Amino acid sequence: MNQAHLHQIIALEKQDPAKPNEFEKFFELRLSTNLTIIKDLFFSLYPEESHTAAFKKLLHHQLPTLFKERPAPLKLLDLSRSKQRDWYQSEQLVGMQLYVDHFSKDLKGLENKLGYFEKLGVNFLHLMPITPRPKGENDGGYAVNSYHEVDKRFGTKDDLLKLTEKMRDKNMFLMLDFVANHTSNEFPWAKKAMAGDERYQEYYHIYSDRTIPDVFEKTLPEIFPLTSPGNFTFNPEMQKWVMTVFNQYQWDLNYSNPEVFIAMLGNLLKLANLGVDVVRLDALAFMWKKLDTLSQNLPGAHTLIALFRMCLQVIAPGVVFLAEAIVAPNEIIKYFGTGPLKGNECEIAYNATLMALLWDAIATKKTMLIYKNLQDLPKKNEEASWINYLRCHDDIGLGFNDRYINEVGWDAKHHRKFLLDYYCQNIEWSPAKGEMFMYNPKTGDGRITGSCASLLGLEKALEQNDAAKINQAINKIIMMHGIILSYGGIPLIYAGDEIGALNDYSYLKDIDKKEDSRWVNRPYQDWEIIAHLDSRKTYQSRIFFGLRQLIRLRKHNPVFADRNNLVLYDGHNPHVFIYERTSDKNKGVLVLCNFSESPQSIAEITLDSYGSIANTKDLISGRAITFVDGTLELKPYQLFWLSKA
């Protein structure tokens, strides 16, 4: 039983509905429930001998002050969320990720677009960073000048508060980023450090010569080797070296200083108080550094995240964490918490493994690697859930294990090269139109960028004006979304993908963006196209209404809530991916998808061995399925959601 369970038991025992004058009492109860864990985590990062004062500051000052600052409507929401602990696992949640300026110009504009989300069935929004950032290069806002102010280009804080209030009224959810690993070099702490204030120099990893940086460099990998090689940047004002693992203007925070943790907890709460339901913990794998290691996924990072989690739970239990850990599959799962911290770290994580494997299956037209990887992953704990996604603002990294590639009979090095060639326009016959990101000729490693539709062949098919290929690309787009909508977790559609947005090459003309091909898949929302979705039979409307139908079906089937009720089945056909979202009421849904451009069949006897499929109908077409000569045929890129009639 994790801590959230304990809070649920306590909250359910108390009066209903909770009254404002009871808020304090619940805060005290939560604090006493989490206190021992908070103390143990804190002192395991910051040895007790020298850090008792910092702990007292956290306990007696920071936690109660932050709780006082939490607005009453959110305190009320916190209590109801405590009672309904698993709200983020509901089948009702369907998400969209977007850049406010590219989508609706600003926050007021976004408020006017809420009807669009409702029409599609989206009720969970991830807004890309809206906080102030340096002019010029700023990593799409991931270099932050403040954690809780609104950058002028998006409007004002009041606009945001109005939007979140309206979203709450409509039962919509909001996710914002907490860029916890680093600030920009314009952040007030960085400015003070630059001006020579030693207290603030301790907030970052700053060294007066290269001795320690050189030792770090021996083991630290490079994140952006082409645009930001190395992990340290010389700062002329201080005449010192600053750790900058991402870009040179992103300074890594030094969490081995407890003052940083305490101050960042304040920033986290200020962000949550804007009306955030899910906090996306950006680049959290990097938060703890240690000489002679990769400084990724370290035990210290897990302790630190759990400490944030346990403190946030005391102050704002209605807010949950998403782990943005795009790391090896076995490492991702650890962000749900392991051992005594099981269930006490992040509630949600990006399912980057599934995402990368789906792109692998598209390119190879085979599903063996999906099975190999997924079957070997430890089952996540029951409180945990995924964000399932196909595309986002970042590149696609091929983050699966070489061992599995070799085990299915492919050469890992060649296979990875094939994937890069397939997606990055190095193979004539490939329908995909993507771009290379951070290709390292020394190692042959690279990542892939491009919009969902362009990677799935729509852009090329349109250029060739080939109706059959256009049709095939649409089917792929719908099938791929059908997987993220049924897999278990929150499906997160990337804005534009619901209307088949193609690559946007305009970034090449922008000096601050042209070196970063991730901008190719950060398109502007095309409202002209959207205005005609109902009246015109375009590829955009086919995709939009195709996805809308799947979203509706998802929301009508509680079996799609994430109850760890996913079972993978082997269909004895290397092109087909099959899984069931099981239900103890014999109302499970069997999902089948064909990753091949030719029809594929599955034997009735195989399907039957997974439970009786008599009286089964496909929810998507609404028709009963038929077997011909004892086999079920799947058309190219066809998706079935089979359920008892």
Contact pattern from residue 369 through residue 398 relative to ligand GLC, giving x for each residue in contact according to CB under 6 A and a dash for the rest: ------------------------xx----
Query: CB count, 10 Å around CB of 47?
Result: 9
Contact pattern from residue 103 through residue 142 relative to ligand GLC, giving x for each residue in contact according to CB under 6 A and a dash for the rest: ------------------------------------xx-x
Restricted to residues 48-87, the positions that interact with ligand GLC (CB under 6 A) are none
Place of tokens 């508060």: 161
The minimum distance between CB 601 and ligand GLC, in angstroms, equals 41
List Cα–Cα distances, 62 to 20, 146, 314, in angstroms: 21, 19, 12
One of 111, 277, 282, 360 is an active-site residue; which one? 282
DSSP 8-state symbol, 391? -
The minimum distance between CB 139 and ligand GLC, in angstroms, equals 5
Q: What gap in Å lies between CA 590 and CA 571, rounded to an integer? A: 12
Nearer to ligand GLC, 296 or 594 (CB): 296
Nearer to ligand GLC, 128 or 320 (CB): 128
The minimum distance between CB 308 and ligand GLC, in angstroms, equals 17
The minimum distance between CB 593 and ligand GLC, in angstroms, equals 27
The minimum distance between CB 518 and ligand GLC, in angstroms, equals 7
| Size of interface with ligand GLC, in residues (CB under 6 A) | 10
Place of tokens 């909001």: 174
Q: What gap in Å lies between CA 105 and CA 109, rounded to an integer? A: 6
Q: What gap in Å lies between CA 12 and CA 68, rounded to an integer? A: 23
Amino acid at 292: D
Nearer to ligand GLC, 359 or 577 (CB): 359
Per-residue tokens: 117: 């989300």
Nearer to ligand GLC, 31 or 492 (CB): 492
Q: Tell the burial category of 462 from Cβ atoms under 10 Å away from its Cβ (0-12, 13-18, 19+).
A: middle
The minimum distance between CB 287 and ligand GLC, in angstroms, equals 12
- The answer to whether 381 and 336 are in contact (CB under 8 A) is yes
Which secondary structure element, helix H or strand E, spans residue 490, and what is its range?
strand 490-494
List Cα–Cα distances, 100 to 130, 322, 492, in angstroms: 8, 20, 16
Q: Tell the burial category of 194 from Cβ atoms under 10 Å away from its Cβ (0-12, 13-18, 19+).
A: buried
Place of tokens 């430890």: 378
Q: Does residue number 246 form part of the binding site for ligand GLC (CB under 6 A)?
A: yes
The minimum distance between CB 324 and ligand GLC, in angstroms, equals 6
The minimum distance between CB 461 and ligand GLC, in angstroms, equals 29
Radius of gyration of the chain (CA): 25
Specify which residues 579 forms β-bridges with: 568, 591
The minimum distance between CB 412 and ligand GLC, in angstroms, equals 24
Residue nearest to ligand GLC (CB): 142
The minimum distance between CB 273 and ligand GLC, in angstroms, equals 22
Nearer to ligand GLC, 120 or 396 (CB): 396
Nearer to ligand GLC, 87 or 224 (CB): 224
One of 137, 252, 324, 497 is an active-site residue; which one? 324
Nearest to 141 by CA among 184, 96, 108: 184
- The answer to whether 396 and 422 are in contact (CB under 8 A) is no
- The answer to whether 398 and 501 are in contact (CB under 8 A) is no
- The answer to whether 82 and 7 are in contact (CB under 8 A) is yes
235: left (phi over 0), alpha (psi -120 to 50) or beta: beta
Task: Specify whether 324 is catalytic.
Answer: yes
The minimum distance between CB 474 and ligand GLC, in angstroms, equals 28
What is 158-226 written as a DSSP string? HHHHHHHHHHHHTT-EEEEEE--SEEETTSHHHHHHHTT-HHHHTTB-EESSSHHHHHHHHHPPPSSTT
Nearer to ligand GLC, 332 or 474 (CB): 332
Q: Does residue number 352 form part of the binding site for ligand GLC (CB under 6 A)?
A: no
Cα 478 to the chain's mean position, in Å?
Answer: 20
Which secondary structure element, helix H or strand E, spans residue 415, and what is its range?
helix 412-423
Using CB under 6 A, which of 93, 220, 283, 477 touches ligand GLC?
283
Nearest to 244 by CA among 279, 282, 286: 286
- The answer to whether 6 and 33 are in contact (CB under 8 A) is yes
Nearer to ligand GLC, 352 or 625 (CB): 352
The minimum distance between CB 181 and ligand GLC, in angstroms, equals 7
Using CB under 6 A, which of 159, 282, 360, 498 touches ligand GLC?
282
Nearer to ligand GLC, 393 or 554 (CB): 393
Beginning with the edge strand found earlier in the chain, give each strand of the sheet holding 240-243 in spatial order: 206-207, 240-243, 232-235
Report helix, strand or coil for 433: coil
Q: Does residue number 516 form part of the binding site for ligand GLC (CB under 6 A)?
A: no
DSSP 8-state symbol, 12? H
Restricted to residues 158-187, the positions that interact with ligand GLC (CB under 6 A) are 179
List Cα–Cα distances, 509 to 91, 105, 115, 449, 519, in angstroms: 42, 20, 33, 17, 11
Nearer to ligand GLC, 42 or 519 (CB): 519
E-strand ranges in 2-61 read none
343: left (phi over 0), alpha (psi -120 to 50) or beta: left
Nearer to ligand GLC, 18 or 223 (CB): 223
Nearer to ligand GLC, 494 or 595 (CB): 494
Residue positions annotated with a catalytic role = 282, 324
Applying CB under 6 A, the residues found at the interface with ligand GLC are 139-140, 142, 179, 246, 282-283, 324, 393-394
